[in-house]
């Protein structure tokens, strides 16, 4: 049998055991299959995982990798399979679930066993750098590798201590579970580290303290008094006489002296005993005993034990304890009844309680003293003696104190003492010590109710002061759930008076945020956070949050009875708990205090809608609208469920539409303002995402002339729904009213791309002048976009062409009688290559009406596309003089070959007409040839000749200048010479003899023979010589002898016998005889 077949058999056996509900055996068979043929086993288990049956297999592999549980022995074909190990399980788990934490830790542990300490440290560094979720475990594994390597021992100890400080319980648990074999070595290393620092002379520091704490966490662990007469009277049962005798003895004598010291204490105890036996004098008993123990504790205790039997002493203690308890209960009630948030009324009630407790601490048995000490420290703190209370707590918590109780089943007083000491430190301004004490209480394994509640309240206050409001609120919610009465006492009495106001505000706001939490609060694309958000926002979790917020709100109402916001928070929590009737009663009570409170009215309206009382809900909504105070409702409505807010949105939106439709002849402004109030409430109810309500309110604002406010609503609707055509049209109209035509056109075009059928009626509904603004703006935009390839060379995008088509078609629909719109649509169709459709549209719309030059030009373009250049030439040439820019746009739509054939045909026609003597008719064809050829030199010369015949010398000269500029240095000299001759003749016709002379001279320089022939023909020998003579004379007068000489030489070339030129030349020679050589 092959390995694959054996693996398949083992997998089938694993499937059978998995079906029978035996995950360990099934996992063992899969593991055996993995050892035979890994792909088969992995495929089979992944199939099981896809069907949700394979989860127990992964869980079993995790346990084996952690070392929890033993891999069962399996038999196959009569033989036991003994090759199943934790290492194999780790490999299997890693293949199934790459980088699984349990597999990674098991692999690292195996490397440690084999002494690969450096490899383990490097792997841990790499995993920590990737922000692994098991930071603590990887840090401790790396620390052990460093310790075992004996190279970086100090670094390993630092890592251990850092992990221990951050999470003591998890650190100790991990070391005991995963590093137990190395525990003795680790303890020795810690001891060596501590002793080494001490030998080095390092002072005691937090580092050494942490080291000691970690080692502790890892280790196993006289005279006989003469009887006074009052005492004798007491023993004889003469209590009244004893009481009188003691009182007399305590009175000052003749010289004003009174008993003192032990004598005074003895008398006071004796009188207290007499009062005790007389009954009904508990206050006298307590007062005398307090004074006696204050005067001389030893004497007082001795007398107390001598006069009273053990039973009587116990009765005294019971009565004093009852008095202390009663006094403290009165103080708690006084605290609860405080009206002033920052007041400390009732402190005077603690003085007798404090005295009673001091006495009890003197006489009580050792086992009862810790609890008494806790209560005394509590009373001292509440009475304002924070330092005295701190000293007492510190003494009671001191390890050497006999009253100290080690952590264990009987460690009751320790948690309250730590919490009290934390509050003492808080009152003294030592927040660090306070935080440490509170944290120690909270982290106890079995929490003490009173101590835990107080510690949570203290830690919550510190978190609020540190800016961690959420964590602080959670601490108070937990405290309220554990013991509401104790949490109220802590907030009203233990919290310093100057922090109570801040605490109230922060807890109230955080409670509201807990109620406002949404299920979509997790960021998209973060699966872990989405999963956590789903867990915390489940119905059960939300109900738990609401219950906690309700208890917190109850605490806040007790903390400040005048705080209406706390009452509303309680009502909101009741609503979230589904207790609608209780929420309704709470809101009615709040309404009785403030009849016009908008937040209360809105909540009541929504509750009535939820309960089906629509008439009452409508009246309440009307009151909310009439109040005009709707801006504060967004946080209020965020608390309510989506379906309830939809009810309120539907009601308010429908009511607003009814107002707008009703009474068409009424006051439109008043109706619009009333509708705006309802729509605002509807928008708040929908969380700002109600596009219909936003659009309706924007139109109302526009009707009232509040353009900027209307713009805000249109923008909000477009943020929620970017493709909302009505919002785009509405915003375009507002832009138009504000004079921002470009923005208005952009919005109209965006809307046309989405839904032209909706946009056209919107434009038709405008006034005629507004329609003109919009249509002209659209036309201008389209023309600019169509000219873009001609101006910048950039091609039109698909989005641009889509917008052009939609805009042109909309313009045609708006006014089919406007020829310009049809021309625009034709141009757009041709620009996108739909020439047949463009031709059909042009023929259909223009019909038998006389064609304009623009329409004829479009037909000419379509002719050239069909290959009919002569017909196209006839249609296009009419646009040459009327609109060259439009003609250039049309020519740009042609291919290069089409433009070349058009230019040739136009040039031929122009030549024919010029030869026939019709220059006026030829001019259009000449210009068409120039434009189609891209300013060809040949066609420019032809048009210049035609213009010269028409005596438009200026235009002709411009064409020749263009030719000469383009051909400088490149053209044939003969051709250039002819061009200069023509230029000179044109300049001469314009009266510019100097310019003409320069052109003639230049022509003669380039090609003398050709130039002479041309100039003798026109303008003739004599006129040419005269022009050159005049130019030479002007140059001579200006002392430009070289130019004068050139002019004379050129003139003599034209007419060698010209006497004037000869004289000019002689004169130039004479004036220049000073030494300049002119030739």
Q: Which helix (H) or strand (E) holds 170?
A: helix 168-178
Indicate the SS3 state at residue 57: helix
* Confidence at residue 366, expressed as pLDDT on a 0 to 100 scale: 84
Report pLDDT for 458.
95
| pLDDT tens-digit readout, 327-339 | 999 998 999 888 8
3-state DSSP call for residue 81? strand
Dig out the tokens for 867 from the structure. Answer: 């290959």
Express each pLDDT in 1048-1067 by its tens digit.
888 888 888 888 888 888 88
Split at pLDDT 50, 70, 90, the class of 521 is: very low
Q: Which two tokens stand for residue 170?
A: 């998890």
- The pLDDT value recorded for residue 200 is 60
The structure tokens 């320069």 sit at: 998
- 635 vs 589, residue with greater confidence: 589
Whole-number pLDDT of residue 494:
93
Residue range 730-751: mean pLDDT, rounded: 88
User: Taking CA 275 as the corner, what is the angle to CA 274 and CA 278, rounded to the nearest 5 degrees?
Assistant: 90
What are residue 75's DSSP bridge partners? 80
From CA 573, how far away is CA 550, in angstroms rounded? 5
Grade residue 495 by pLDDT with cuts at 50, 70 and 90: very high
The answer, yes or no, to whether residue 693 has pLDDT greater than 80, is yes
pLDDT at 433: 94
Distances (CA, A) of 292 to 227, 319, 325, 373: 17, 17, 21, 20
**The pLDDT value given to residue 542:** 61
Q: What is the mean pLDDT of residues 840-858?
A: 73
pLDDT at 468: 93
The per-residue pLDDT for range 570-608, each reduced to its tens digit, is: 999 998 888 988 988 988 888 887 776 788 888 888 888
Arithmetic mean of pLDDT, 146-171: 89
pLDDT number for residue 404: 44
Q: For residue range 402-457, list pLDDT tens digits in order.
A: 444 444 334 456 888 899 999 999 999 999 999 999 999 998 877 788 889 999 99
Alpha helices by DSSP H, listed for 526-640, are 527-536, 539-559, 564-576, 580-593, 598-611, 614-627, 633-637
Q: Which two tokens stand for residue 748?
A: 């109209």
Q: Contact, 80 vs 74, CB < 8 A?
A: yes
**pLDDT of 555:** 92
pLDDT, tens digit (0-9, with 9 covering 90-100), for 699-717? 898 888 898 999 999 898 8
List all residues 6 or more positions away from 392 whose beta carbon is below 8 Å from its beta carbon.
373, 376, 377, 380
Cα–Cα distance measured from residue 781 to residue 741, given in angstroms and rounded to the nearest whole number? 11
CA 764 to chain centre: 42
- Output the CA angle 690-694-698, nearest 5 degrees: 175
Q: Which of 39-48, 477-486, 879-888, 979-988 has the lowest mean pLDDT?
A: 879-888
Provide the CA 351 distance to its chain's centre, in angstroms: 55
pLDDT band of 80, cuts 50, 70, 90: low
Are 346 and 328 contacting, i.e. CB atoms less than 8 angstroms apart?
A: no
Question: Do 981 and 1027 contact (CB within 8 A), yes or no?
Answer: no
Rounded to the nearest integer, the mean pLDDT of the chain is 82
SS3 79: strand
CA distances to 23, 70, 597 from 78, in Å = 22, 22, 85
Query: Rounded to an integer, what distance in angstroms lies between the CA atom of residue 1003 and that of residue 1011?
Result: 6
Strands 79-81 and 74-76 turn out to be antiparallel
Name residue, tokens 């009890």. Answer: 360
pLDDT for res 968: 59
Cα separation, 234 vs 237, whole angstroms: 5
Residue 68 has pLDDT above 80, yes or no: no
Query: Left (φ > 0), alpha (ψ -120 to 50) or beta: where does 21 sit?
Result: left
3-state secondary structure of 35: helix
Q: Where are the beta strands (DSSP E) in 308-399?
A: none
Q: Cα-flanking dihedrals φ and ψ of residue 75, to 5°?
A: -120, 140
Long-range contact list for 577-583, CB < 8 A, 24+ apart?
A: 577/543, 577/546, 577/547, 577/550, 580/607, 580/610, 580/611, 583/607
Token representation of residue 630: 């709707």
Tell me if 142 sits within 8 A of 120, measured CB to CB.
yes
Contact between 920 and 950 (Cβ < 8 Å): yes
Sign of the torsion angle spanned by Cα atoms 71, 77, 80, 83: negative
Question: Per-residue DSSP letters for 828-856?
Answer: HHHHTT-HHHHHHHHHHHHTTSPPPHHHH
Q: How crowded is the C-beta side of 977, counted as CA atoms within 13 Å?
A: 17
| pLDDT exceeds 50 at position 652 | yes
* 501, 341 Cβ separation under 8 angstroms: yes
C-alpha distances in Å from residue 654, one per residue of 657, 660, 669, 693: 5, 10, 19, 10
Length of the chain: 1079
Q: Which residue would you say has higher pLDDT here, 529 or 476?
A: 476
Spatial neighbors of 55 by CB under 8 A, at least 6 apart, are 49
Q: Highest mean pLDDT: which of 503-507, 733-737, 936-940? A: 503-507
Residues 704 and 673: beta-carbon distance below 8 Å: yes
Lowest mean pLDDT among 99-103, 773-777, 780-784: 99-103
Higher pLDDT, 1033 or 407: 1033
pLDDT at 543: 67
* Average pLDDT estimate for 859-872: 80
Which whole number is the average pLDDT over 770-778? Answer: 86
**What angle, 0 to 180 degrees and rounded to 10, lies between the N-to-C axes of helices 756-764 and 741-754?**
140
**Residue 145, both tokens:** 């590798």
Banded model confidence at residue 91, pLDDT cuts 50, 70, 90: confident
**Most confident stretch, 469-483, 863-877, 897-911:** 469-483
> What pLDDT is recorded for position 848?
56
Return the exposure string of 736-770: e unless at least 16 CB atoms fall within 10 Å of the residue's CB, then b.
beeeebeebbbbbbbbbbebbeebbebbeeeeeee
Decide if 265 contacts 330 (C-beta within 8 A).
Answer: no
Q: Which residues contact 940 (CB under 8 A, 6 or more apart)?
A: 930, 959, 960, 962, 963
Confidence of residue 224 (pLDDT cuts 50, 70, 90): very low
Q: Helix count (H) and strand count (E) of the chain?
A: 60, 2
The contacts of residue 86 (CB under 8 Å, 6+ apart) are: 64, 65, 67, 71, 106, 110
Assigned token pair, 217: 């966490």
| Cα 98 from chain centre | 33
Cα–Cα dist 530/536, whole Å: 10
Q: How large is the average pLDDT for residues 278-301?
A: 83
Provide the pLDDT for residue 228.
40
Question: What are 962-985's pLDDT values in tens digits?
Answer: 888 876 555 678 888 888 898 888
The verdict on whether omega for the bond into residue 784 sits within 30 degrees of 0, i.e. cis, is no
Angle, vertex CA 136, rays to CA 135 and CA 141, nearest 5: 100
Question: Residue 638 pLDDT > 90, yes or no?
Answer: no
């Amino acid at each position: 049998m092959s390995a694959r077949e054996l693996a398949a058999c083992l997998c089938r056996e694993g499937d059978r055991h998995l079906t029978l509900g035996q995950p360990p055996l099934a996992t063992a068979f899969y593991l055996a299959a993995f050892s035979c043929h890994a792909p088969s086993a992995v495929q089979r288990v992944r199939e099981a995982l896809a069907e949700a049956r394979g989860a127990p297999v992964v869980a079993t592999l995790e346990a084996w990798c952690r070392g929890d549980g033993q891999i069962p022995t399996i038999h196959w074909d009569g033989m036991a399979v003994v090759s199943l190990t934790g290492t194999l399980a780790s490999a299997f788990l890693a293949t199934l679930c790459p980088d699984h934490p349990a597999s990674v830790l098991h692999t690292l542990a195996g490397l440690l066993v084999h002494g690969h300490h450096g490899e383990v440290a490097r792997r841990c560094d790499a995993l920590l750098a990737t922000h692994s979720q098991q930071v603590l475990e990887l840090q401790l594994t790396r620390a052990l590798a460093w310790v075992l390597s004996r190279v970086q021992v100090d670094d390993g100890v630092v890592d251990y201590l850092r992990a221990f400080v951050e999470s003591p319980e998890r650190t100790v648990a991990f070391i005991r579970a995963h590093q137990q074999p190395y525990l003795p070595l680790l303890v020795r290393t810690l001891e060596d580290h501590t002793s080494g620092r001490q030998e080095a002379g390092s002072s005691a520091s937090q580092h050494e303290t942490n080291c000691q704490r970690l080692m502790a966490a890892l280790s196993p662990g006289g005279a006989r008094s003469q009887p006074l007469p009052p005492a004798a009277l007491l023993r004889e049962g003469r209590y009244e006489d004893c009481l009188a005798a003691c009182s007399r003895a305590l009175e000052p004598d003749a010289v004003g002296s009174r008993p003192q010291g032990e004598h005074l204490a003895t008398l006071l105890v004796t009188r207290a005993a007499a009062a005790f036996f007389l009954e009904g004098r508990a206050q006298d008993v307590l007062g005398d005993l307090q004074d006696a123990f204050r005067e001389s504790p030893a004497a007082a205790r001795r007398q107390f034990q001598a006069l009273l039997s053990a039973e009587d002493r116990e009765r005294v203690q019971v009565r004093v304890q009852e008095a202390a308890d009663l006094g403290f209960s009165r103080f708690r009630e006084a605290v609860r009844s405080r009206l002033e948030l920052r007041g400390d009324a009732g402190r005077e009630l603690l003085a007798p309680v404090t005295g009673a407790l001091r006495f009890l601490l003197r006489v009580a048995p050792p086992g009862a003293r810790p609890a008494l000490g806790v209560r005394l420290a509590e009373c001292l703190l509440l009475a304002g003696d924070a330092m005295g209370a701190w000293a007492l707590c510190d003494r009671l918590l001191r390890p050497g104190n006999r009253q100290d109780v080690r952590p264990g089943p009987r460690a009751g007083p320790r948690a309250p003492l730590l919490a009290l000491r934390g509050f003492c430190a808080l009152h003294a301004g030592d927040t660090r010590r306070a935080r440490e004490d509170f944290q120690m209480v909270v982290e106890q394994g079995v929490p003490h109710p009173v101590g835990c509640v107080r510690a949570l309240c203290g830690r919550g206050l510190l978190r609020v002061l540190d800016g961690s409001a959420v964590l602080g609120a959670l601490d108070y919610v937990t405290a309220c759930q554990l013991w509401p009465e104790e949490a109220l006492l802590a907030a009203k009495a233990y919290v310093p008076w100057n922090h109570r106001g801040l605490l109230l505000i922060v807890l109230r706001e955080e409670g509201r945020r807990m109620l406002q939490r949404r299920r979509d609060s997790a960021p998209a694309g973060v699966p872990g956070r989405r999963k956590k958000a789903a867990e915390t926002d489940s119905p059960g979790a939300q109900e738990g949050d609401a219950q906690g917020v309700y208890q917190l709100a109850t605490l806040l109402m007790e903390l400040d009875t005048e705080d209406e916001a706390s009452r509303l928070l309680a009502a909101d929590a009741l609503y979230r708990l589904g207790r609608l009737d209780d929420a309704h009663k709470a809101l009615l009570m709040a309404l009785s205090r403030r009849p016009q409170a908008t937040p209360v009215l809105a909540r009541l309206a929504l509750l009535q809608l939820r309960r089906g009382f629509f008439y009452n809900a409508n009246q309440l909504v009307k009151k909310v609208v009439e109040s005009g105070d709707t801006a504060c409702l967004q946080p209020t409505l965020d608390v309510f469920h989506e379906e309830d807010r939809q009810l309120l949105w539907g009601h308010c939106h429908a009511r607003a539409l009814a107002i707008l439709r009703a009474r068409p002849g009424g006051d439109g402004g008043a109706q619009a303002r009333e509708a705006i109030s309802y729509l605002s409430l509807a928008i708040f109810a929908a969380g700002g995402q109600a596009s219909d309500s936003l659009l309706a309110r924007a139109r109302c604002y526009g009707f009232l002339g509040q353009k900027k406010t209307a713009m805000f609503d249109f923008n909000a609707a477009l943020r929620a729904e970017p493709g909302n055509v009505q919002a785009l049209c509405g915003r375009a109209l507002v832009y138009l009213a504000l004079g921002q035509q470009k923005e208005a056109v952009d919005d109209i075009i965006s809307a046309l791309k989405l839904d032209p059928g909706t946009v056209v009626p919107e434009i038709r509904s405008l006034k005629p002048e507004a329609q003109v603004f919009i249509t002209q703006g659209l036309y201008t935009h389209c023309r600019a976009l169509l000219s873009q390839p001609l101006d910048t060379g950039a091609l039109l995008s698909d989005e641009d062409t889509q917008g052009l088509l939609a805009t042109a078609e909309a313009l045609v629909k708006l006014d089919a009688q406007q020829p310009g719109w049809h021309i625009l649509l034709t141009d757009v169709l041709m620009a996108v290559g739909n020439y047949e459709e463009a031709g059909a549209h042009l023929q259909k719309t223009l019909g038998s009406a006389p064609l304009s030059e623009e329409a004829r030009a479009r037909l000419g373009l379509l002719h050239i596309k069909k290959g009919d250049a002569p017909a196209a030439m006839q249609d296009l040439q009419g646009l040459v003089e009327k609109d060259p820019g439009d003609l250039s746009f049309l020519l740009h739509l042609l291919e290069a070959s089409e433009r070349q054939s058009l230019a040739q045909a136009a040039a031929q026609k122009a030549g024919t007409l010029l030869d026939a003597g019709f220059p006026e008719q030829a001019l259009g064809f000449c210009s068409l040839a120039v434009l189609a050829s891209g300013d060809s030199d040949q066609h420019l010369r032809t048009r210049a000749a035609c213009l010269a015949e028409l005596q438009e010398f200026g235009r002709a000269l411009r064409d020749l200048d263009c030719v000469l500029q383009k051909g400088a240095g490149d053209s044939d000299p003969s051709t250039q010479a002819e061009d200069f001759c023509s230029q000179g003749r044109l300049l001469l016709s314009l009266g510019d003899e100097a310019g003409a002379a320069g052109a003639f001279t230049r022509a003669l320089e380039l090609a003398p023979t050709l130039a002479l022939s041309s100039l003798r023909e026109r303008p003739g020998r004599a006129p040419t010589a005269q022009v050159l003579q005049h130019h030479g004379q002007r140059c001579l007068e200006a002392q430009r002898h070289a130019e004068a000489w050139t002019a004379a030489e050129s003139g003599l070339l034209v007419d060698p016998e010209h006497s004037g030129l000869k004289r000019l030349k002689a004169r130039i020679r004479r004036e220049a005889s000073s030494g300049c050589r002119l030739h």
